[in-house]
Amino acid sequence: MDKPPVKVTLIRMQYVGEQGHMALLGHSLAAYISVLERERLRKLTTRILSDTTLWLCRLFRYENGSAYYHEDDREGLVKVCRLAINTHYEDYATEGFTLLSSKHPVIYQSAACRPGLGQHLCSQLGLPLSSLCIVPCNTMFGSLHRMDVALLDKLIRDDSESGKLPLLLIANAGTPGAGHTDKLSRLKELCVQYNMWLHVEGVNLATLVLGQVSSTVTAATKCDSMTLTPGPWLGLPAVPAVTLYRHEDPALSLAAGLTSSQPVEKLRALPLWLSLQYLGHDGILQRIKHASQLSQQLLENLKTLASIKTSVEDELNSPVVVFRFSQDSAPSSGGSVEGYLEGERDILDALNRWLGEQLAQQVPLSGVDVVELEDEGTCVRFSPLMTAAALGTQENDVAALVEKLGEMIPVLSCTLRFRQDFKDEVLQQASLSYIEDQSWPGLGGVRYEARTTDLDEDKRHHSVEKINSDLLKKLMELDTDLYFSDGPEFCEEKNCIFIGMATEDLDVAELVETVVSIGRDIEESGKLFENMTEVVRRGIQEAEQQLQKANEEKLMEEGVLRQIPLVGSVLNWFSPVQASVKGKTFNLAEGCLDSTEPVYSIKAQMNKEASLDSPKSITKRFPGQKLFRRQGAGSDSVSDTSSVSQLEESFRETAPVQASDAEEAEVPQERHVHIVAETASSDQRVPEGQETESVDALR
């Protein structure tokens, strides 16, 4: 038996340049080198480790430093903390954590550090969370993302007076969110004063390789340790992170795990060693310089855009650009900004989240992402040092990013202005309910409420769900630029219709009226269907009763003998019964049983057809008018004649006229169900039970 063919799915990998292949080759070479004889392996690994450490210390201006290579970028900080503990507690190697109970160690970190870093340290070191002290950032003056040095000094002094041991301070040279740098020189003075260890990390450390570096970042070269991530900076896959540190006692470094006597452990530096040799000093400098120039290019273009605010610490040398859309206070024509003082930030956060997602989708090579900052709110971040090398971002990508941003700013401004107008229009409609959801990036949400009050709660809920579901489908079929949705994924409100972003020429009143009109047609169509169902049910019951009555009359007229099959046939042969045919017709429109005599009257039939022929109501629209668009709002918003005609035809097919067509299809005015109750004649006698076929056929 032949085996079925195996389907192989090919997945395209991310593009990896030649320097990336060198890094990947280093992992294979490390596996081969590990099988060498021990003496050769020791010499080779020592040379690789010393060369790589020397190159990194020279590149990042960190004199007389040692290096620890690790896969997890937090592992180096854990080892440094153990080194600080071994330094301050001399008998820690023998006594262990019992020494810590007498003098509680404290680790200080900025509130702007990456989330979970301090908890990870305490978990790895076996320290309680009370050993972690979060230092707030400046709130009165200066950067909102810098550590408050004066408050830190007070916290350290209070801990020292209470018998605790200030152990280590984690500072930022480029916060994870906004890319701001702490006052490292002042923090270094505090650490020297209180005999603390200073550790620095952040993306701005990459700029140390440049010729011109800001003084705030240059102060990082005087710290006790720093963690570097050259992989993202240089676009090198699968290379380790590096922690550079200074310490005079090799034994304590060995006890903390920063150095190892195992040659295989030293092979971690091999991929980075190969990549640094391939790139050379000029190649490394060019990559980091290119990323910094991209940030400056974007920053200069953002200054020319209205309604865009930036959160940049150093405009001359900032490698991270964080910007945010913010509506101007003065309203323009066609909208209103009243009522947005309360909850305005939540609305702006939703709009900026939409802005960041759209920019990332439409300009993927830019590498922008959305970041949540405590003070500013939701912002868009451009950090080419972390993305440009891997994505290959160029100047034209930044230009495309600025162009797309310029196109989206008017849409954001109009949407923010029209939100209140949309709310006011919805509240004026008795059949609509306004859905307040400040996390929705658009005009807002509505719900069509059924006007029937005689239904119970379950039936009413089902009716509202059915109407709004059909209404959403109808609105999505309209040929318009608006986006209709059932809301966010985790929206608490159900059975709603959310409307997306708006443009300058949007006619909010027409939009709301269209929603009400289509919803009303759907509701009335549903009522007609329910009424027709009830009419048919009652008509069938009445027909069954009249058929039963006709059978009883037939029995009384013919007698019992004629109902016996054999006797009845002989009796009918000799003495046939002259019975008249009686028929009934069931009118669905009127819901009643009528006589069949008008059916055979041509004049009556023609009168009924003439009475039912009525012209359809067609919504009047002006020539050249587009759906939900105000005439004269702007030349750019009005499309050509052909597109306008298509919009009109689409609206005529899907608007209230469509509901009328569906109504006619579901409830025909001239359709009659004929129920003929026949009395048996001598030559029309059928077997017993035939009289119930008409009821079954009707059912």
- The residue extents of the domains of the chain are 421-523
Q: Who has greater pLDDT, 397 or 593? A: 397
Rounded to 10 deg, the angle between the 270-302 and 18-33 helix axes is 160
Is the pLDDT score of 628 beyond 60? Answer: yes
Task: Quickly state the pLDDT bin for 237 (edges 50, 70, 90).
Answer: confident
% of the chain surpassing 90 pLDDT: 40
pLDDT at 688: 42
pLDDT band at 113 (very low <50, low <70, confident <90, very high): very high
Task: Look at residue 431 in the predicted model and tell me its pLDDT.
Answer: 87
Q: What is the pLDDT of residue 38?
A: 86
335 φ, ψ (degrees, to nearest 5): -160, 180
pLDDT band per the 50, 70, 90 thresholds, residue 455: low
pLDDT attached to residue 62: 95
pLDDT of residue 139: 66
Q: Could you report how far apart the first and last alpha carbons of the chain are, in Å?
A: 55
pTM here is 0.73
Q: Name which residue leads in pLDDT, 237 or 383.
A: 383
pLDDT confidence of residue 609:
53
CA-closest candidate to residue 529, choices 456, 594, 463, 454: 463
What percentage of the chain exceeds 70 in pLDDT? 70
User: Residue 665: which pLDDT band, with cuts at 50, 70 and 90?
Assistant: very low
Token digits of residue 318: 């900032």
Across the range 43-66, mean pLDDT stands at 93
Orientation angle between helical segments 384-391 and 270-302, nearest 10 degrees: 110
pLDDT-based confidence at 685, cuts 50/70/90? very low
For 421-523, CATH number out of 1.10.10, 3.30.70, 3.90.1150, 2.60.120 equals: 3.90.1150
pLDDT band at 345 (very low <50, low <70, confident <90, very high): confident
For the segment 424-432, the average pLDDT, to the nearest whole number, is 90
Q: In this model, does residue 637 exceed pLDDT 50?
A: no
Length of the chain: 699
pLDDT at 689 over 50: no
pLDDT at residue 525 in the model:
77
Task: Name the residue with higher pLDDT: 429 or 678.
Answer: 429
Distances (CA, A) of 420 to 109, 495, 518: 43, 22, 23
Give the DSSP per-residue string, 167-211: EEEEEEBS-TTT--B--HHHHHHHHHHTT-EEEEE-GGGGGGGSS
Q: For residue 283, what pLDDT is reported?
A: 92
Average of pLDDT values for 9-38?
68
- Confidence category of residue 330, pLDDT binned at 50, 70, 90: very low
Among the listed ranges 197-211, 282-296, 318-332, 471-485, which one has the minimum average pLDDT value? Answer: 318-332
| Rounded distance between C-alpha atoms, residue 631 and residue 653, angstroms | 22
pLDDT of residue 323: 94
State yes or no: pLDDT of 125 exceeds 60. Answer: yes
Per-residue pLDDT for 676 more than 50? no
As a whole number of angstroms, the distance between CA 84 and CA 94 comes to 16
What does the pLDDT look like over 358-391, one tens digit per residue? 999 999 999 999 999 988 899 999 999 999 998 9
pLDDT bin (cut points 50, 70, 90) of residue 164 is very high
Q: Give the model's pLDDT for residue 260.
A: 84
DSSP assignment of 281-308 equals: HHHHHHHHHHHHHHHHHHHHHHTTSTTE
pLDDT digits (tens, 9 = 90+) for 457-508: 777 788 888 888 888 998 988 878 888 988 777 677 788 899 999 888 888 9
Where does the pLDDT of residue 656 fall: very low under 50, low under 70, confident under 90, or very high at 90 and above?
very low
Q: Are 60 and 209 in contact (CB under 8 A)?
A: yes
289's tokens = 């310089």
